[in-house]
Chain A
Amino acid sequence: MTGRAGAAGGFRGTPTRVPPGLRQAGSVTRWAMHRFDVTTTLSSDRHLAVLAIAGDLDLGTADAFWPDLERLLNTHAGDAVYLEDPLDAVVLDATSLEFIDSSGLRVLLRGARLARGDGTDFRLVAPHPAVRRVLELAGAVRALDVRPSLPEALA
């Protein structure tokens, strides 16, 4: 079940973190569910969003993740929650993602397509070998603009 956990939501003790180099816009959304966790950080000065995902993005969690990703990508001018202008880039930080299957991959590809259709860059940080394996098998490394580390994705 998807549950809004707020900043206090827990997943294997993972703390909410703000990526280095980002000035937080004061809006961190976080939700956790069994085996999967999302933390969203918005930069106030670069129109950049970083979604850190952890755990397993599989057929049991992918459907619950999509609405949050879609909502973020559909952030436009006048949105009271986030920014005044569309995002320049969305970085999906999958450093702590341990497993992904074709269901999870479909969500990421859908997100990348939606982002780019709106002129927003979409990058994926995916250093975990199991995740890289899936991306390579599916030939999705290029489509998702995969970077080996978060600093490289933010550069």
Chain B
Amino acid sequence: MRDETTGDEGAGFTGLGGASAEPPAEKPVEPESAELLPESEVFIEIPADRLFVVLARSAAVHLGAVLHLGITDVTDLRLAVDEACALFLLHPAFPDGGAIGLACRFAAYREELRVTVRAPVPPGFAPDTEGIGWIMLGALVDDLAWTRQDGFGTVTLTKRFRQPRAT
């Protein structure tokens, strides 16, 4: 069920690797099918508090190392996860603290790493796609998407591996 307040608009939009704010484009994130199960998956939930974002960043760095990403990709991944969390935490409409958490999921596939940051959001909530954070995110990852569904907002980052990963 989509956010009833926003209707179809709640499906979200994407930004693709450019350093400019893309206008909203309808590209809902495709649900994972059975054949798209990740090879490895890590889930971490942090309190919705700015001081805890460093934990998500640290997880990103560690996973980047485990996946044998290069130093530039690890650095970019760390920054991208930080900025994805900031899209929620710095938004004036995002509720303060309390029992809310930011759920960060890192899913490694054969050819890409997909990171989602998810949190409950109020009706009508949407990230600032003209802000510097979103623009930087678009330049840091290969695919960037925002969706809102069932009262949750999700930022999805996809970083494709430049070469087959060592196993």
In the assembled complex, the Cα of A105 lies from the Cα of B19 at a distance in Å of 16
Q: Does B118 contact A (CB under 8 A)?
A: no
Of the residues A35, A103, A133, A138, contact of B54 by C-beta under 8 Å? A35
Which interface class (under 10, 10 to 19, 20 to 34, 35 or more) fits A? 10 to 19
Of the residues A101, A129, A139, contact of B86 by C-beta under 8 Å? A101
Q: Which residues of chain B from 81 to 116 have any CB-CB distance to chain A below 8 Å in the complex? A: 82-83, 85-86, 89-90
Could you give, for residues 15-37 of chain B, a 1 whenever the CB lies within 8 Å of some chain A CB and a 0 otherwise?
A: 00001000000000000000000
In the assembled complex, the Cα of A143 lies from the Cα of B75 at a distance in Å of 23
Say yes or no: B136 contacts A103, CB within 8 Å.
Answer: no
Given contacts A129-B75, A130-B75, A137-B136, contact A102 B51 (CB under 8 A): no
A103 contacts which chain B residues (CB < 8 A)?
Answer: 86, 90, 133
Say yes or no: A133 contacts B76, CB within 8 Å.
Answer: yes
Q: Is the interface of B mostly helix, strand, loop or mixed?
A: helix
Q: Which residues of chain A from 120 to 146 have any CB-CB distance to chain B below 8 Å in the complex? A: 129-130, 133-134, 137-139
Query: How many residues of chain B get a CB closer than 8 Å to chain A's CBs?
Result: 25
Q: Does A31 contact B (CB under 8 A)?
A: no
Of the residues B71, B132, B140, contact of A105 by C-beta under 8 Å? B132
Q: Does B59 contact A (CB under 8 A)?
A: no
| Closest chain A residue to B138, Cβ basis | A137
Given contacts A99-B78, A137-B139, A137-B140, contact A59 B53 (CB under 8 A): yes
Say yes or no: A134 contacts B50, CB within 8 Å.
Answer: no
Say yes or no: A102 contacts B132, CB within 8 Å.
Answer: yes
Given contacts A34-B51, A59-B89, A60-B50, contact A102 B75 (CB under 8 A): no
Say yes or no: A59 contacts B50, CB within 8 Å.
Answer: yes
In the assembled complex, the Cα of A33 lies from the Cα of B80 at a distance in Å of 24
Q: Does A110 contact B (CB under 8 A)?
A: no
Could you give, for residues 44-60 of chain B, a 1 whenever the CB lies within 8 Å of some chain A CB and a 0 otherwise?
A: 00000011011001000
Q: What's the minimum C-beta distance from A29 to chain B, rounded to whole angstroms?
A: 23
Seen from chain A, the residues whose Cβ lies within 8 Å of a Cβ on chain B are 34-35, 56, 58-60, 99, 101-103, 105-106, 129-130, 133-134, 137-139
